[in-house]
């Protein structure tokens, strides 16, 4: 699905998007490709939360090309880090397969952190008097 030229021009000229970011965000429907967070939902999401991310990290010989870029929220980008989805999906994987493997990896990282947070909350609540 291509970005309508008038929309692209407006996003670039009035809202200071780079032409590449317009294409990346449009492809992702302005949602994080790993957790589906709507990056136009709030001022915080719009101003501070979205990032362009390499699906296959450049340190793992990922290219700096449109097909290797993903729209990501800051949290998912931090959780994914330099993890390489090719280690699971294999060299012949499509972009969609790589993004899905990365999504599963990120979701696992989030779930592990949620469990850890629950443990910390339990520990603190047991000893905290308000």
What is residue 126's predicted lDDT score, i.e. its pLDDT? 85
**In the chain, what are the domain boundaries?**
5-127
Q: DSSP secondary structure string, 42-110?
A: SHHIIIIIEEEEESS-GGGT--SSGGGEEEEEHHHHHHHTT--THHHH-TT--HHHHHHHHHHHHHHHH
What is residue 93's predicted lDDT score, i.e. its pLDDT? 96
What is residue 130's predicted lDDT score, i.e. its pLDDT? 54
Task: Please identify which residue in the block is written with the tokens 């012949």.
Answer: 92
Q: Output the pTM of the full model.
A: 0.89
What is residue 129's predicted lDDT score, i.e. its pLDDT? 66
């Amino acid at each position: 699905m291509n970005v309508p030229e008038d929309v692209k021009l407006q996003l670039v000229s009035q809202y200071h998007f780079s032409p590449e970011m317009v294409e990346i965000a449009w492809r992702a429907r302005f949602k994080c490709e790993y957790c589906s967070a709507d990056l136009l939902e709030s001022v915080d999401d719009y101003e501070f939360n979205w990032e362009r991310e390499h699906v296959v990290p450049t340190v793992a010989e990922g290219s700096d090309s449109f097909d290797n870029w993903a729209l990501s929220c800051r949290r998912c980008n931090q959780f994914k880090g330099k993890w390489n989805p090719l280690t699971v999906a294999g060299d012949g994987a499509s972009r969609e397969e790589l993004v899905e493997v990365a999504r599963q990896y990120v979701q696992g990282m989030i779930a592990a952190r949620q469990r850890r947070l629950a443990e910390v909350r339990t520990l603190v609540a047991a000893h905290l008097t308000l």
